[in-house]
Amino acid sequence: MTAPHSHTTIAMAEERQWKGTTGGGNFGQKALFVMLKRIPVILLYPVLYLVVPFYFFLGRKATESVKFYHREIWKQGKIKTLWRSFLSELTFGKVVLDKFAVLAGNTKQFDIRFNDEDLQNFNTLLDQDKGIILAGSHIGNFELLGQTLSQDKKPISCIIYGGESSNYQAHRDQSFGKQNVKLIPISNDMSHLFTIKDALDKGEIVAILCDRHFGGRKIKKCEFLGKEANFPTGIFIMAAQMGIPVISTFIMKGKGTHYTGYLKHLHINEEEESVSKKTDELLKAYVSSIENILHQYPLQWFNYYPFWEMDK
């Protein structure tokens, strides 16, 4: 696998290309919460075969980005691109239903397993005084993190996009609150960065999605899966300055309600004194971890907007 190359670029605030909110409206979301609190989520999976084609053919912008991903990144032909794009959106639909089931409190139906070595390394970091950054991505089902890594040693602060419906946010607050997880919404004035630093100073855990920027100024252009794309660097700069360990975290969907979790410690040269070089190393390691996971789970890339430079 080709190591990602990068060079610095400071970007001005950009308009969001995809809001990242959960669809369905208040009424639809309430109906889902009521149903999924009482029935196994797998019973609703067949409905997706009726719903997904509707979005697949009418959600043109999102669909075109999915097609680009399979056609240009994975070099698929026309027929295979259409088929894999449909399967990708179908998988995303199942992931969304799983999220609703978890937030509804129906969690016992999920089997989520981590690699023993990953868990051992994570537990070793838990015993240290330093904080920990869990660097997630819009891959798999990152929101299941709070259900899988809850423990009593270190509180978890999860950085979230705050534009969801009030009903969805209420269920999310209640669900995560039971797992010793505090939710911190991203703020336009960037005040959430002070909350993140405060949590890390206290030796706590911060979980944050690191593959998408919302108009941030600190961005770096990297080679990602063979083509250039922009990644935010703010959290990696903070980690480099404070000497905080970073774990690239993935919760990947398997068959039915089975998931596999991955906790990949991003190792860098600890003797390096330059914050800039340490930041570069962390970002390269993070991008490489995404490449590795997508080679295993190519259908679970859920950034539905033009992600690569040539896609735009």
**pLDDT of 13 higher than 50:** no
Determine the Cα–Cα distance for residues 95 and 310; give it in Å rounded to an integer: 28
**pLDDT of 7 higher than 60:** no
Question: 35 in a domain, yes or no?
Answer: yes
Look up residue 240 and give its two tokens.
């480099």
Determine the Cα–Cα distance for residues 48 and 56; give it in Å rounded to an integer: 11
pLDDT single digits (tens) 81-105: 999 999 999 999 999 999 999 989 8
**pLDDT of 279 higher than 60:** yes
Residue with tokens 């946010």: 169
Determine the Cα–Cα distance for residues 268 and 25; give it in Å rounded to an integer: 44
CB 126 within 8 A of CB 132: yes
Q: Please provide the average confidence, as pLDDT, over all residues in the chain.
A: 86
Determine the Cα–Cα distance for residues 175 and 189; give it in Å rounded to an integer: 27
pLDDT category at 253 given cuts 50, 70, 90 is very high
Which alpha helices (H) appear in the chain, and where do they start and end?
A: 25-36, 48-58, 60-68, 78-103, 116-126, 145-148, 166-177, 192-201, 234-242, 275-296
Residue 175's pLDDT is 66
Check residue 69 and report its DSSP letter: I
Interval 143-167 mean pLDDT: 78
Residue 71's pLDDT is 97
Determine the Cα–Cα distance for residues 211 and 311; give it in Å rounded to an integer: 16
C-alpha R_g of the chain: 19
Residue 17's pLDDT is 46
> Which range among 60-74, 142-156, 261-275 shows the weakest confidence by mean pLDDT?
142-156
**pLDDT of 286 higher than 60:** yes
**pLDDT of 271 higher than 50:** yes
Between 293 and 181, name the one with better pLDDT.
Answer: 293
Residue 311's pLDDT is 72
pLDDT category at 5 given cuts 50, 70, 90 is very low
Domain span at 197: 6-14+22-311
Question: 273 in a domain, yes or no?
Answer: yes
- What SS3 class is residue 300? helix
Question: 301 in a domain, yes or no?
Answer: yes
Question: 209 in a domain, yes or no?
Answer: yes
pLDDT single digits (tens) 166-214: 666 666 767 666 667 888 888 777 778 889 999 999 999 999 999 987 6
Residue with tokens 């991955």: 262
**pLDDT of 41 higher than 70:** yes
pLDDT category at 25 given cuts 50, 70, 90 is low
Element (H, E) at 263: strand 258-265
CB 253 within 8 A of CB 259: yes
C-alpha dihedral, 302 to 38 to 260 to 124, nearest 10°: 110
Question: 279 in a domain, yes or no?
Answer: yes
pLDDT category at 23 given cuts 50, 70, 90 is low
> Which range among 36-40, 270-274, 295-299 shows the weakest confidence by mean pLDDT?
270-274
**pLDDT of 155 higher than 60:** yes
pLDDT category at 241 given cuts 50, 70, 90 is very high
Contact residues for 215 (Cβ-Cβ < 8 A; gap 6+): 13, 14, 15, 16
Residue with tokens 């002070």: 194
Residue with tokens 């990708």: 88
pLDDT category at 218 given cuts 50, 70, 90 is confident
Question: 91 in a domain, yes or no?
Answer: yes
Residue 188's pLDDT is 73
Determine the Cα–Cα distance for residues 85 and 89; give it in Å rounded to an integer: 6
Check residue 37 and report its DSSP letter: T
pLDDT category at 24 given cuts 50, 70, 90 is low
Residue 15's pLDDT is 36
Question: 1 in a domain, yes or no?
Answer: no
What is the number of structural domains in the chain?
1
**pLDDT of 78 higher than 80:** yes
Between 100 and 62, name the one with better pLDDT.
Answer: 100
